[in-house]
Amino acid sequence: MPKTKTTFFCQNCGAQHAQWVGQCPNCKQWNTVVEEVIQKEEKRNWKTPSNTQKVVSKPRRIQEIELNTEERIITRNNELDVVLGGGLVKGSITLLGGEPGIGKSTLLLQVALQIPQKVLYVSGEESQSQIKMRAERLQNEDSNCLILTETNTQQIFRNVEEVQPDVLVIDSIQTLYTNNIEASPGSISQIKETSAELIKFAKETNTPVLLIGHINKDGNIAGPKILEHMVDVVLQFEGDRNHTYRILRSQKNRFGSTAELGIYEMLSDGLREVKNPSEILISEKDTDLSGTAIASTLEGVRPLMIEIQALVSTAVYGTPQRSTTGYNLKRLHMILAVLEKRAGFKLGAKDVFLNVTGGIYIDDPAIDLAVVAAILSSNQDIAINPDVCFAAEVGLAGEIRPVSKIDQRIVEAEKLGYKTFVTSKYNKITSKNHSIKLILVGKIEDAFATLFA
């Protein structure tokens, strides 16, 4: 009988250590190193092979390699297909992470019920009756989805060999365990081993695998960081549980762009795809209020109209407050310094609060001009015409800089009914037949004179 060995893993970053230490040298976290039992033995395949032959790979010149287009499975969930880059690539591993109760299981069960191919949905957290109750709320009667409640990977692979599904869904990776090692489910070594088995299965059988991953208190996917390196796609499901809207982002995608965005609305009968994101990013109001401005931004190839809200007030306490929601705080400090130094607005002794509505975080510099307009509107207490939208970057010298894909932003503003579009005069606008009125400015002073003259 082989001798049982133990090793020490950091529960935060997954680093392996020869002995216990109080502070992990890799991530500098205290009291995260725990001892786990491992069994050093020959790693077995995801299934027991009968007569396996070794396939020897040989190096080839790059000119001799044939370029093949990845074969994809369309999920019929348009938002997910857009974020994935056109559907599930066969043989790929997709990891979906998010906070508890945000709707990860609902999303993947809804996708599993919509896919026309045979899907095996494996749950280690819920019983079959619980999944049936959720499926009835989703109101999808005609489905080719099979439900399995199991956590042992060897048992899962036996069912996979019998069923031979086209898509495999695992909920969740932290609940699985394998007999190859003697560690508890959810431990670092079990997550690494079960993930390796699933990846080997996906690549050998050309079957796409969807994994659900829990997150830790820092918002990162629980388990070793190598898990995110091993998989092909990492998706993040975000949102506030007190609100109905959810955002699906791609943090890693080997088969497409990571700049795409999917937006859903959580309803009693499942997740509704939001075709026009501007309907949730722009709030409804009866009267024109100061401190609001509409910005045109891009998420991947999708133009969005978002609302920027600013509140400027006299500082009651000694130190003025600066607070942002959905926007970079350091960039707000830079914009306030530019307004003070280059444009002469005295904002150093005032509190400034900035909010991007809809619960979305924007990192696009093209919303700088809308941020400036909202701040100046609140400071002057003059409302901006709601038919005006902005798209330009603000430089440190106070100049209004051009942004990319300006024509797409203008077309989207036209489509949504805006009458005026304010941007940099240095933009190269290819089309001159826009029905929307274009106001081209070069400095912050020009924008201020145009809006509040």
- Phi-psi group of 57: left, alpha or beta (phi > 0 → left; psi -120 to 50 → alpha; rest → beta): beta
Q: How far, in Å, CA of 146 to CA of 348, rounded?
A: 62
Q: How far, in Å, CA of 357 to CA of 309, rounded?
A: 7
**In the block, which residue shows the tokens 């790693």?**
43
Q: How far, in Å, CA of 151 to CA of 422, rounded?
A: 56
Sign of CA dihedral 274, 276, 278, 283: negative
Contact (Cβ atoms closer than 8 angstroms) between residue 17 and residue 9: yes
Q: Where are any strands of DSSP class E within 25-92?
A: 33-38, 72-73, 88-89
187 is in an annotated binding site: no
Contact (Cβ atoms closer than 8 angstroms) between residue 192 and residue 227: yes
Going from the C-alpha of 27 to that of each of 97, 132, 151, 187, the distances in angstroms are: 21, 42, 30, 18
36 is in an annotated binding site: no
Q: How far, in Å, CA of 216 to CA of 206, rounded?
A: 31
326 is in an annotated binding site: no
101 is in an annotated binding site: yes
Cα angle for residues 397, 401, 404 (degrees, 5° grid): 155
The 3-class SS string of 412-448 reads: HHHHCCCCEEEEECCCCCCCCCCCCEEEEECEHHHHH
CA atoms within 13 A on the CB side of 377: 25
98 is in an annotated binding site: yes
173 is in an annotated binding site: no
186 is in an annotated binding site: no
Q: What is the DSSP string of 307-347?
A: EEEEEEEE-SSSSPPEEEESS-HHHHHHHHHHHHHTS----
Classify residue 319 by burial, with Cβ atoms within 10 Å: 0-12, 13-18, 19+: exposed
103 is in an annotated binding site: yes
Length of the chain: 453
Going from the C-alpha of 450 to that of each of 128, 140, 209, 296, 311, the distances in angstroms are: 63, 54, 54, 19, 21
Binding residues: 98-105
Binding residues for ATP: 98-105
